[in-house]
Structure 1
Amino acid sequence: MDSCIFCKIIAGEIPSSKVYEDDKVLAFLDISQTTPGHTLVVPKEHVRNVLEMSEKTALELSSRLPKLARAVKSATNAKGLNILNNNEEVAGQSVFHAHIHLIPRYDSNDELSITFTEHEPDFDALAKLAQKIANEVTA
């Protein structure tokens, strides 16, 4: 059997607090509970992350997100919700089975901090980078 902890949860070898399951996707509470109701949504197919995911698996996974996000927000009475996905260790991925975090937010002063820096944009540099990325998309 695969040593992946999420594969073991999917197989029922490790207990979890399931909130949703169908033939393609499993959602369960994260044991870390960054905030109460922190839920992980995983494809049942073992795939490392979005970078290695097929379009079919991505569609199966993402199509469940709105329903699950609404359920988590409603059940927890959260004021909002972050949907977060980390790809590779440098980006914070610690379990190498694709998963989406649904993190309820109750107060803008909670301990979770996600920040974006603001600075004057270099539109020429942005245009060049956008073109480089667009070329990769069509490659």
Structure 2
Amino acid sequence: MNTPRVRYRDVAPHTFTALLGLEKVLAESLLEPSLRELVKVRASQLNGCAYCVDMHSADALKAGETVRRLLSLPTWQETPFFSARERAALLWTETLTLLAERHAPDAVYAEVAEQFNERELAELTFAIATINAWNRIGVGLAMQPE
């Protein structure tokens, strides 16, 4: 098991506070809390961030998510457990998280835009960008669940 490489909260509190500020704004978005947590867990799974998967799985359960759906998240496309809106959010999460592979094509955007108004789509995109930033901090600095 790795130990954290840098205690970023202590050595760069100004940047930590800035990213945390974005999280606080996103918590007040139009997106449902359970949807935001599904996005965070799925991106964290794709990025291999054990710290974030652990934290956001617990947060998802607190937000009313079920264990069954959390366990099915890696296979969301093959299960009937997710709504069209959730599927669109997960598709957009995977597309933007795997941006180098997927390149956010117009067809995917159009599919996602059918489920979200412009503000929601912008907030969803910011939520995905933010969790990807946290994942890069968590993986890059070898953070581990406690």
Q: What interval of TM-score do these two structures reach, taking the shorter chain for normalisation?
A: under 0.3
Of structures 1 and 2, the one with the larger relative CO (CA 8 A, separation 6+) is 2
Query: What TM-score do you get using the length of structure 2 for normalisation?
Result: 0.27
Q: Which has the higher helix share?
A: 2
Query: What TM-score do you get using the length of structure 1 for normalisation?
Result: 0.28
Q: Which has the higher strand share?
A: 1
